[in-house]
Every structure is written in structure tokens, then in C-alpha cells.
Amino acid sequence: MKIEVREGYPEVDILIRCPQDGPAIQRIVSLLASLDQHLRGLKDGQTHVIDWPDVLYLESVDKRTFIYTAQAVYETPLKLYEAEERFDMTSFFRSSKSQIVNVARIASLRPEFGARLELTMDNGERLLVSRTYAKALKERLGLL
């Protein structure tokens, strides 16, 4: 892969030259497109704009969805499936029925009882991946 950066243009323009389109190229395109996307979160009566790389995980509790960052917890009007669709093909991964994890923020993982995985996020927080999703996460991380 060859990357060339040129400065002095009025806006960012990215051109990908490749032998053929495929899943890897589509993943790159999706990641680049998602860089301009933000989440909206509510905290203390104020609306906050959250960049997706800052998100550790999203969780649904009692029909409410929360965004967890290293600094704070925000409520979002998005349903979990809407967030999953919006950030499809990026670094987000469904880790259970009620949780989506930012794979880029995982520091380590270890096996747990019942074929589950315990994730340690880069802020030290620990999360469980249900056995339904554990194998897919290992595949995504190249561990299988």
C-alpha cells in the first residue's frame, strides 16, 4: 500500500487506486466516510457532540441507550440497532444483545467461563462478550 499526502488544497479529497474492489477496500472507504460522523449524547440537560473514536461502547438498558466514553456517560436517542447500522463496517462490533463495543479501544481480552470473553478497554473498564458473539470477535481480531 502506498500513501501520499499533499497539502494546500481547500478540502480533503481522497482517491483510492486499486486492482479491484473488494471487502478490504470497502472497509477503508467506510472508515474514511465515518470520520465525519458524530453521535449526539445528552448529559445534565445539555446536548454533546461525540466523535465516534472517543466512544468505548454503547449499551441499551431499560429501553434507553447510553454512550460510554473514557470521560463520561451520555444518553442517546438512537436505538442500538440504529447505531449498529450507522457505524457498520467501522470499528464497532456487537458484543451482546444489549452492547456494541469499539474494537479499536480494546486493550486486551481473555476467555471466560461459558465460552464468553472478558474485554479490558483502554480505560481499564471490563466488559463481557456473550458466547454468541465471541467467535465472531476472535475472527475479526484475527485470533482464529
Q: Give the tens place of pLDDT for each residue, 52-91.
A: 889 999 999 999 999 999 999 999 999 998 888 877 657 8
- Residue 36: the pLDDT is 65
- Residue 34: the pLDDT is 65
Could you give all domains of the chain from N- to C-terminal order, each with its CATH number?
Answer: 38-140 (2.40.50.1020)
Residues of the chain with pLDDT under 70: 33-36, 88-89
Question: What are residue 3's phi and psi, to 5 degrees?
Answer: -125, 130
User: Residue 37: is it exposed, middle or buried by C-beta count within 10 angstroms (0-12/13-18/19+)?
Assistant: exposed
Residue with grid cell 467501522, as numbered in its chain: 90
Euclidean distance between CA atoms 127 and 134, whole angstroms: 12
- Residue 4: the pLDDT is 83
- Residue 56: the pLDDT is 95
